[in-house]
Structure 1
Amino acid sequence: MTFKGIHKVFFLGIGGIGMSALARWFSHAGFEVAGYDKTPSPLTDELEKEGMEITFEDKVDSIPASFTPDPQEVLVVWTPAIPKDSVLLNFFQSHYTLKKRSEVLGMITKDLYTIAVAGTHGKTSTSSLVAHLLKSAGKPVVAFLGGITQNYQSNLLLPGKTKEEPILVVEADEFDRSFLRLHPNEAVLTSADPDHLDIYGDESTILEGFREFIRLVDKKGKLYLQTHAWYRLGEQLGTQAGIREYGLRSNGIHAENIIARPGSFQFDYVGIKAQIKGLELQIPGFHNVENALAAIAIAVDHGLSEAQIREGIRSFRGVKRRFEIHSSEPGHVYIDDYAHHPEEIKACLSSVRAMYPTQRMTVIFQPHLFTRTRDFAEGFSESLSLADEVALLDIYPARELPILGVSSEMLLEGIQASKKILITKGQVMDYLKDSKPEVLVTMGAGDIDRLVPGIAAWTKAQINQAWIEED
């Protein structure tokens, strides 16, 4: 299938981070775009401001009138997050051409030089940094990202007017095996830890999924492979692409002289073709330094100069909800992160501890999915034990129904923190007032993000009050 004859695109689940980026791409390309989502959000508000008509009613008469006369000129893009009993989904299945988001993204990658970033963790930060380094150096870039970049305030980057063929940077999502529809010329694999066992069943199957993705990389291209991921996958990868190994402690591309500061990390890049000393990364975290290694290696291979790389790293402001620092005032630090897997939590909290080694760390965590909580309960408890105090919210179910015996409470016993508690979202502000955290970290991939503006405002009020009392 091509987009020939298609003039209108309707998105079922348009408010999702990946779907909205695709919707923006079609809109910029001149297609009429509309969509449905269950509830309004800041992201759907932005899409409406950009001219897209969005309905929040799951019924046929909510479809814009211009989309109904000729189904042949309409493409319907849907996400598996839409329930099978959805009225709109069933209507469109009977009358229209439907494609999953991953299929449409695959069609786009077929026609453009593509850098695909895969991995259980680090996809969004790494792909965003790759795109920023190339774009800030003047390369024409199209990027479909899994988060809102702070530099561009969007999950879609476009090249502007150029005669050059753009480079496509895309986040390659392993969920539902979506990444197997892509056509990468180059790829990054940031990690290969088990996840999405509700889809894959067991660890060996998801590892084979990553191997299948690797085999898709053009034989003339390059594969940037994180050390531990390579160890997990084994030596026989079945690819003819040139492999670049990277990692904090890699024998290949690695970092030296890492210095952790409250608002940034400094490090030296040691690579095959270049060594760059004293890089300043404004998004803290050892894991972000490792993500930067892959991005810098790609930048070097695409001909960026040391000065361009240095400036690109220095100017990168990260992605919303990826180690996002809302306050760095001593005694009133507030960091929000999307971490929802034990390894992500461990990476985040280890970095926070390195930045603030003497201050009491409080974590509010919202588990995401009943299956993930069940499958990795021990790992969650171990990672959360890096905090001094832990407050657990109820599990965010997303696409799942409850599982008997699976709850946030099952994590409590294994958490080795001096204080641990179960609270509801409605109790968060009272909890903060009582606990008065010195370093606060909120984490989770559910709707905990709805609490972030209120917590940030409360933190700012505490800082202002402390200043008044000092005066």
Structure 2
Amino acid sequence: MRIPVPEVLLPAEELGRVHFIGIGGAGLSAIARIMLARGIAVSGSDGNDSPALDALRELGARVHVGHAAEHVHDVDTLVVSTAIREDNPEYVAAVEQGLRILPRSAGLYAVMAGKRTIAIAGTHGKTTTTSLVTVALQAAGADPTYAIGGDLSSTGVNAADGSGDLFVAESDESDGAFLVYTPSIAVVTNVDADHLDQWGTEEAYQAAFTDFLDRIEPGGLLITWAGSDATLHLADQARAKGLRVVTYGLADADVVAEHLRAAGTRTTFVVRRGAEALGEVTLQIPGEHYVLNSLAAIAIGLDLGLDFDALKAGLEGFTGTRRRMELKGEVAGVRVYDSYAHHPSEIRGDLQAARSVAGEGRLVVAFQPHLVSRTRIFGEQMGVELGAADEVVVADVYLAREDADPAVTGALVADAVPLPADAVAFVPELSDVAAELARRARPGDMVLTLGAGTITTVGPMVLDLLGRVGA
């Protein structure tokens, strides 16, 4: 459900008691966590209990499992997830009571108020880039407030209220949220058509990023990738608007990564700014796309006048973000990883990284398409990218905020995978996916579960099944 952004946006301290519908989600739980740290009364509800709800309860939130009108009887402000439908009883009650109702974007804006915002936008890589920026700034002596669309592996949380004047925020374009914020520094990692269920056309999607430039403070900074026509065009537009621009990439950029070397889960490269070689960085996460993400973090830190060696230390200590090439475990010589990739470009990047991790072992991938609309548009391309694996299991579509379409299933993806028929299977039920992966996996293999939905639950099932076989 799309909630309009109010014309007047208030700081969090003026919102009274705040209730979140969908408080267990990555976006709303981050806002709630920051509000709780500031002493603001928070309540919320979610359809299912989860560790995220337990953590918020421990911080002092009043949290309900399930939705009911009485949950909002003493509330001043409602913050609503885009996944919530118009017939939600709490939303209906809030409308009847005339409560202030905010979309997620306005809730995040409320906790940004009074801080210098660093907004991380782009089709892919937002969560990891936001995480890398956060740990790099922390290591360099800054203590930013941050809100990330995933939990940092090192802390186990997706948000914290820092003591410094910086606010690092993952800024989502899927529902136009990034057009609400007013950053002093903005990153655009890439612009690659997605969320066309919301934007309609690729042209409208790209135009939203042009509009995003107008949200950057006058004289502010755009940091963007030098590796695509879309982002280079965005850089030209930013300069024309009087913004400062720093580009990053593997060549022909202001901040460059050179001499990349990959070994297992580590990637080493040399950072150069202009003619100056700043030093060598070794990441503990595999993949060229993570090198690019780290360059954005370095560019931000350097612009803020922070020490390169300190930024480097933060990046080298980064152990990842949950659901981004996350190791779930190893049993019977089979390593199981989980990642969030759900767009063809993300699938390509993760499989390239996985090859380095797999070494001489085979790569066995399970993929759950996310959203009917995305699968309808990109399903065949998803299948083509999955062809970089040795064996592929495709689950049915994770519906999220959409209704099922019998003409759009995971079979659309599976049928497009360019591998021998016996190396590909369409297995609709997740419990069956786990069994199929365990059947296919051999010692030395790497199993990778991919997708933005419930596929993340499959990895532990596979480990359990493999453990039983070896017992």
- Tell me if both proteins adopt one fold, taking TM over 0.5 as the criterion: yes
Deviation, 1:5, is 4.9
Where do 5+ consecutive residues of structure 2 fail to align? 1-8
* Offset from partner CA, 1:141-166 (integer Å, 9 cap, x none): 10011100012211112224xxxx52
**Does 1:129 find its partner at 2:138?**
no
Structure 2 counterpart of 1:68: 73
Q: Distance in 1 between matches of 2:118 and 2:176?
A: 18
Match of 1:382 in 2: 384
Is the 1:110–1:182 Cα contact (8 Å) retained in structure 2? no
SS state at 1:303 partner: coil
Does the Cα contact within 8 Å between 1:263 and 1:328 map onto a contact in 2?
A: no
Residue type matched to 2:188 in 1? L
C-alpha deviation, 1:233, in angstroms: 4.6
Asked if residue 408 in structure 1 is aligned to residue 410 in structure 2, the reply is: yes
Pairwise mapping of residues 384-399 of structure 1 onto structure 2 (< 5 A)? 384-399=386-401
The whole-number CA distance in structure 2 between the counterparts of 1:451 and 1:377 is 21
Question: Counterpart amino acid of 1:141?
Answer: P
Partner letter of residue 440 of structure 1? V
Match of 1:347 in 2: 349
* In the alignment, structure 1 residue 453 sits paired with structure 2 residue 437: no
Match of 2:104 in 1: 101
CA contact (8 A) 2:223 2:248 kept: yes
| Aligned-residue offset at 1:209 | 0.3
Partner secondary structure for residue 434 of structure 1: helix
* 1:29 and 2:49 matched: no
The offset of 1:379, in angstroms, is 1.6
Aligned residues, how many? Answer: 453
Say if 1:258 and 1:268, in contact at 8 Å, map to a contact too.
yes
CA contact (8 A) 2:331 2:466 kept: no
Corresponding position of 2:237: 236
| TM-aligned CA distance change 1:167 to 1:265, over 3 Å | same
Tell me, yes or no, if the aligned pair for 2:145 and 2:167 is still in contact at 8 Å. yes
Task: Name the amino acid aligned to 1:145.
Answer: I
- Aligned pair in 2 of structure 1 residues 298, 6: CA closer, same or farther (>3 Å)? closer
Pair 1:166–1:453, CA change in 2 (3 A): farther
Alpha-carbon distance, 1:77 to partner: 0.9
Moved more, 260-269 or 409-418: 409-418
Structure-2 residue corresponding to 1:370: 372
Structure 1 residue 268: Cα displacement: 0.8
Aligned to 1:167: 166
Residue in 2 that maps onto 1:444:
451
Distance 1:243 1:166 in 2: 22
Q: Which amino acid aligns with 1:421?
A: A
If the length of structure 2 is used for normalisation, what is the TM-score?
0.91
Q: C-alpha separation between the residues in 2 aligned to 1:453 and 1:404? A: 29
Identify the residue that residue 266 of structure 1 maps to in structure 2: 268
Opposite residue 223 of structure 1, the aligned amino acid is L
Q: Does 1:421 align with 2:430?
A: no
Q: CA RMSD in A?
A: 2.1
1:10 is the counterpart of 2:19: yes
When normalised by structure 1's length, the TM-score is: 0.91
Give the letter for the 1:352 counterpart: A
Contact kept in structure 2, 1:262 and 1:356, CA below 8 Å:
yes
Q: State how far apart, in whole Å, the 2-side matches of 1:42 and 1:116 are.
A: 27
Q: What corresponds to 2:360 in structure 1?
A: 358
Give the deviation of 1:457 after TM superposition. Answer: 4.6
How far 1:456 moved relative to its partner?
A: 4.2
Structure 1 residue matching 2:281: 3-state secondary structure: strand
- In the other structure, the counterpart of 1:91 is 93
| CA–CA distance in structure 2, aligned partners of residues 207 and 349 of structure 1 | 26
How far residue 257 of structure 1 moved from its aligned partner, in angstroms, is 1.1
* Structure 1 residues 356 and 370, CA gap change in structure 2 (3 angstroms): same
Sort the Cα spacing of 1:412 and 1:167 in 2 relative to 1 into closer, same or farther, 3 A: same
Counterpart pick for 1:41 among 40, 44, 50 = 50
Contact between 1:192 and 1:232, CA under 8 Å: does it hold in 2? no
- Identical pairs, percent: 32
SS in 2 for 1:98: strand
Change (3 A) 1:188 1:273: farther
> Paired residue for 2:438, among 433, 448, 464?
433
List aligned pairs for 1:50-61, cutoff 5 A.
50-61=59-70
Q: Which runs of 5+ in 1 are unaligned?
A: none
Q: Given that residues 35 and 55 in structure 1 are in contact (C-alpha distance below 8 angstroms), is that contact kept between their aligned partners in structure 2? A: yes
Which position in structure 1 is the counterpart of 2:182?
183
Provide the C-alpha distance between the structure 2 equivalents of 1:107 and 1:232, rounded to a whole number of angstroms: 31
